[in-house]
């Protein structure tokens, strides 16, 4: 069975702090894809990144970085120097080579000025 766990329900930080959102996944497949989505208060889900199971390179995009560790089945997301606009719910998701995205329950990030 596939499962995504985001143990942190809610995180609060002050602007300019770094914050890491954890994501742990379970799958028996050797080929799979991991995603992070951001859901701002307006409601729409915004795609942030997709990573396939054969690519363990960490990725950095501006203030965002992702750490994919197959050994611990984790795909953590770090925001450096957080800003108020980063306040949102962040979802980690998993899929095999099919259409069904399995989402975690999300982590609500609040960044205070």
Partner 1 sequence: ETGVTQTPRHLVMGMTNKKSLKCEQHLGHNAMYWYKQSAKKPLELMFVYNFKEQTENNSVPSRFSPECPNSSHLFLHLHTLQPEDSALYLCASSQDLIQPQHFGDGTRLSIL
Residues that bind partner 1 (CB under 8 A): 4, 33, 35, 37, 42-47, 50, 91, 93, 95, 97-106
Instruction: Tell me whether residue 74 or residue 96 sits nearer to partner 1 (CB atom).
Output: 96
Using alpha carbons only, give the angle 94, 96, 100 rounded to the nearest 5 degrees: 70
Cβ(101)–Cβ(36) below 8 Å: no
For the beta carbon of residue 13, count every other beta carbon within 10 angstroms: 16
Assign residue 81 a region: left if phi > 0, alpha if psi is -120 to 50, beta otherwise? left
Closest separation in Å from C-beta 103 to partner 1: 4
Least separation, in Å, of the C-beta of 18 and partner 1?
Answer: 26
Question: Nearer Cβ to partner 1, position 7 or 81?
Answer: 7
- Cα 65 to chain centroid distance, Å, stands at 10
> To the nearest whole angstrom, how small is the minimum distance from the Cβ of residue 4 to partner 1?
8
Least separation in angstroms between residue 104's CB and partner 1 is 6
Say if CB 9 and CB 108 are below 8 A apart: yes
Question: Toward partner 1, which CB reaches closer, 61 or 71?
Answer: 61
Query: Which of 85, 99 has the CB closer to partner 1?
Result: 99
Q: How many residues does the chain have?
A: 113
């Amino acid at each position: 069975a596939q499962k995504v766990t985001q143990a942190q329900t809610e995180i609060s930080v002050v602007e300019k702090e770094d914050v890491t959102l954890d994501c742990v996944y379970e799958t028996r497949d050797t080929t799979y894809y991991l995603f992070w989505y951001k859901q701002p208060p307006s409601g729409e889900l915004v795609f942030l990144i997709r990573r396939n199971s054969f690519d363990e390179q960490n990725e950095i995009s501006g203030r965002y970085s992702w750490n994919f560790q197959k050994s611990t089945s984790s795909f953590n997301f770090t925001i450096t120097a957080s800003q108020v606009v980063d306040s949102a719910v962040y979802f980690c998701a998993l899929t095999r080579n099919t259409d069904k995205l399995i989402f975690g329950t999300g982590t609500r990030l609040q960044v205070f000025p």
